[in-house]
Amino acid sequence: MIDTAAVAEIVDSAAKNAKAISQLSENGYPLSLAQAYQVQAQSIARRLERGERLIGIKMGFTSRAKMIQMGVDDLIWGRLTNTMLLEEGAELDMKNYVHPRIEPEIAFRLKQPLKGEVSLLEAMAAVEAVAPAMEIIDSRYENFKFSLQDVVADNSSSSGVVIGAWQQPSCDLSNLGMAMFFDGEPVQIGSSAAIMGNPYRSLVAAARLAAAADMTLEPGWIVLAGASTAAEALRSGVHVRLETEQLGVAEISVA
């Protein structure tokens, strides 16, 4: 029997102290996928006990580009807490991370609850606002290498999120150009179409996957649709800017 609470303490400490650990799957913890989600829930429960608040969830591996980059081809999800939310234009400190990467995303803010099997139209109707966003992922595993179970247990590498201006969900999101720049140089260029053909499909999947953990996506929550391109490693001194057609920009700097 695997003591999931003990494993949750290992991944939570690694995240808290920004210290890499070896892969659980190769280190005596061959978790099933269900156990990996259990570890994730227990590690986030530890953060909530320390006073953090749940603000939504993030989807992962919703694009081919991400699946190929990381060698994992199942949809995954993770929990977002208030301390992960970075102010737009904020300055990150590399010492708070193990080996952070950044990726272009689209964020939804809900006005109605979503749970279980919902249609694309129901998911769209539950959205109050949409925004361009960038996720900072920071796998706690050495060399950013993991199995499906490892990454799920590690809250799907969630570390930070920066969200641009929220706006009415009036435009068609199915094929918006997205370009991410490091110091003005384009480093990743793609389209929101890469996210399951339409980012709203990721929201449908989010409602279904969260329901399997008996979780409802709540009004006011944020759902990150998953990256449209591969992620880029952050480095000291870099300024990162995402430009998304129709939706505008999101920016962040590293000290």
Site residues (vs Mg ion, CB under 5 A): 135, 227
156 contributes a contact to ligand OOG by CB under 6 A: yes
CB of 137 to ligand OOG, least distance (A): 5
Q: CA dihedral in degrees (212, 169, 69, 81; nearest 10)? A: -60
Nearer to ligand OOG by C-beta: 3 or 73? Answer: 73
Helix (H, G, I), strand (E, B) or coil at 154: coil
Write the DSSP assignment of 113-146 as a string of letters. Answer: -B-SS--HHHHHHTEEEEEEEEEEE--SBGGG--
| Window 112-131: residues binding ligand OOG (CB under 6 A) | none
Cα 15 to Cα 140: distance, rounded to the nearest angstrom: 6
137 contributes a contact to ligand OOG by CB under 6 A: yes
Collect all residues with Cβ–Cβ distance below 8 Å to 167 and sequence separation of at least 6: 129, 130, 131, 247, 248
Binding segment toward ligand OOG, per CB under 6 A, in 3-11, 57-65, 124-132, 165-173: 57-65
Interface pattern 171-210 for ligand OOG (x via CB under 6 A): ----------------------------------------
Give the tokens for residue 171: 């435009």
Residue 253 · residue 92 · CB < 8 Å: yes
Q: Which residue's CB comes closest to ligand OOG?
A: 60
Interface pattern 86-115 for ligand OOG (x via CB under 6 A): -----------------x------------
CA 170 to chain centre: 24
139 contributes a contact to ligand OOG by CB under 6 A: yes
140 contributes a contact to ligand OOG by CB under 6 A: no
Residues that bind ligand OOG (CB under 6 A): 58, 60-62, 66, 70, 103, 135, 137, 139, 151, 156-157, 226-227
